[in-house]
Chains A and B, each alone.
Chain A
Amino acid sequence: MVSYKFCEKIISRLTTNKAEIVVFGEEPRPAYDRVHLSEFFAGKTAEDLLMAPASWYVENNIRLHLGDPVQQIDRTAKTVHSYKGITESYDYLVMATGSAAFVPPIPGVDKKGVFIYRTIEDLELMRDYAPRAKKGVVIGGGLLGLEAAKALLDLGIANTHVIEFAPRLMPRQIDDSGSRVLENKLSQLGLQIHTNKNTSAILGEDTITGLQFADDSHLDADMLVISAGIKPRDELAKLCGLETGHRGGIVVNEQLQTTDPFIYAIGECALYNGMIYGLVAPGYEMAEVVASHITGTQKSFTGFDMSTKLKLIGVDVASFGDPFVSAEHSRSVVFEDTMKGVYKRISITPDGKHLLGGILIGDADAYNMLLQTARNKVVLPPNPEDVLLGARGGSSADAGPGVLGLPDEAVICSCESISKGAICAAVEAGNETLDAVKKCTKAGTCCGGCVPMVKDLITGTMKAQGKYIRNVICEHFAYSRQELLDLIHLKQIYSFDEALDHYGHGDGCEVCKPVVASILASLWNDLILDKGNDTVQDSNDRFLANIQKGGTYSVVPRIPGGEITPARLLVIAQVAMKYNLYTKITGGQRIDLFGAHLSDLPDIWEELIAAGFESGHAYGKALRTVKSCVGSTWCRFGLHDSVSFAIQIEERYRGLRAPHKLKSAVSGCIRECAEAQSKDFGIIATEKGWNLYVCGNGGSKPQHAILLASDLDSETCIRYIDRFLMFYIKTADPLTRTATWLNKLDGGITYLRNVVVNDSLGIVEDLEKEMQALVDKYKCEWKEVVESPELRKRFNHFVNAPGHKDPSIQFETMREQKKATDWK
Chain B
Amino acid sequence: MSTTIATENAITWFYACNVQDVPANGGVCVKYGEEQIALFRFARRNEWYASQNECPHRRQMALSRGMTGTQEGEPKIACPFHKKTFSLKDGRCISDPAECAITTYPVRIENDRVYIGVDGASEC
A-to-B contact residues, CB < 8 Å: 475-476, 497, 500, 506-510, 513-514, 532, 534-536, 538-540, 542-543, 547, 549-551, 794, 797-801, 804, 806-809, 823-824
Contact = CB atoms under 8 A, between A and B. Distances in A.
B44 A804 contact: no
A506 B70 contact: yes
B93 interface: no
A435 B86 CA distance: 26
**Most B-side CB within 10 Å, residue of A535, A807, A809:** A535
A685 B64 CA distance: 49
Top 9 nearest A-B pairs (CB, nearest first) are: A509-B69, A535-B26, A539-B80, A510-B78, A799-B28, A507-B70, A824-B59, A510-B67, A798-B31
Nearest to B14: A800
Nearest to B22: A799
Contacts of B21: 799
A535 B67 contact: yes
A509 B67 contact: yes
Contact of B75 (A507, A543, A547, A551): A507
B24 A513 contact: no
Contacts of B30: 798-800
**Most B-side CB within 10 Å, residue of A539, A799, A804, A809:** A799
A547 B65 contact: yes
Interface of B: 1-2, 16-17, 21-31, 34, 36, 39, 42, 44-45, 54, 58-62, 65-73, 75-76, 78, 80-81, 83, 85
B80 A508 contact: no
A507 B71 CA distance: 9
B26 A509 contact: no
A801 B1 contact: yes
11 contacts: A507-B45, A507-B69, A509-B71, A535-B27, A542-B65, A549-B60, A550-B60, A794-B23, A799-B16, A799-B39, A804-B31
B17 A800 contact: yes
A536 B71 CA distance: 16
Contacts of B54: 808
Given A508-B69, A800-B16, A551 B61 contact: yes
A535 B16 contact: no
Contacts of B70: 476, 506-509
Given A799-B39, A800-B30, A507 B25 contact: yes
Nearest to A509: B69
Contacts of A506: 70, 73
A700 B24 CA distance: 37
Nearest to A496: B25
A549 B58 CA distance: 9
Given A534-B23, A535-B68, A823 B59 contact: yes
A550 B28 CA distance: 17
Contacts of B80: 538-540, 547
Contacts of B29: 797-799
A808 B61 contact: yes
Contacts of A547: 62, 65, 80-81
B69 A513 contact: yes
Nearest to A823: B58
A513 B73 CA distance: 16
Nearest to A514: B67
A712 B21 CA distance: 54
B31 A507 contact: no
Given A509-B78, A550-B60, A797-B29, A475 B68 contact: no
Nearest to A508: B69
A534 B26 contact: yes
Given A547-B80, A799-B30, 5 more contacts: A508-B70, A532-B25, A535-B26, A798-B31, A800-B30
Contacts of B61: 551, 806, 808-809
Contacts of A507: 25, 42, 44-45, 68-70, 75
A509 B44 CA distance: 13
Nearest to A539: B80
Given A799-B28, A823-B59, A824-B59, A510 B69 contact: yes
B67 A538 contact: yes
Contacts of A539: 62, 65-67, 80
Contacts of B31: 798, 800-801, 804
A532 B2 contact: no
Nearest to A794: B23
A551 B67 contact: no
Nearest to B65: A539
Given A475-B72, A497-B44, A510 B85 contact: yes
Nearest to B42: A507
A83 to B, nearest CB: 40
A807 B2 CA distance: 18
Nearest to A501: B44
Contacts of A542: 65
A673 B75 CA distance: 51
A539 B78 CA distance: 10
B25 A510 contact: no
Nearest to A497: B44
Contacts of A497: 25, 44
**Most B-side CB within 10 Å, residue of A476, A506, A514:** A506
**Most B-side CB within 10 Å, residue of A542, A550, A800:** A800
A513 B76 CA distance: 14
A538 B82 CA distance: 11
Nearest to A507: B70
B77 to A, nearest CB: 9
B92 to A, nearest CB: 14
Given A507-B68, A509-B69, A547-B81, A800 B2 contact: yes
B83 A510 contact: yes
A800 B1 contact: yes
Nearest to B67: A510
Contacts of A540: 80
Nearest to A822: B58
Contacts of A797: 29
Contacts of A513: 67, 69
Contact of B25 (A536, A794, A801, A824): A536
Nearest to A506: B70
B59 A543 contact: no
Nearest to B54: A808
Nearest to B76: A509
Contacts of B69: 507-510, 513
A807 B70 CA distance: 31
A32 to B, nearest CB: 22
Contacts of A538: 67, 80
Contacts of A476: 70
A823 B79 CA distance: 15
Nearest to A598: B65
B81 A535 contact: no
Contacts of A807: 34
Contacts of A808: 36, 54, 61
Contacts of B85: 510
Contacts of A535: 23-27, 67-68
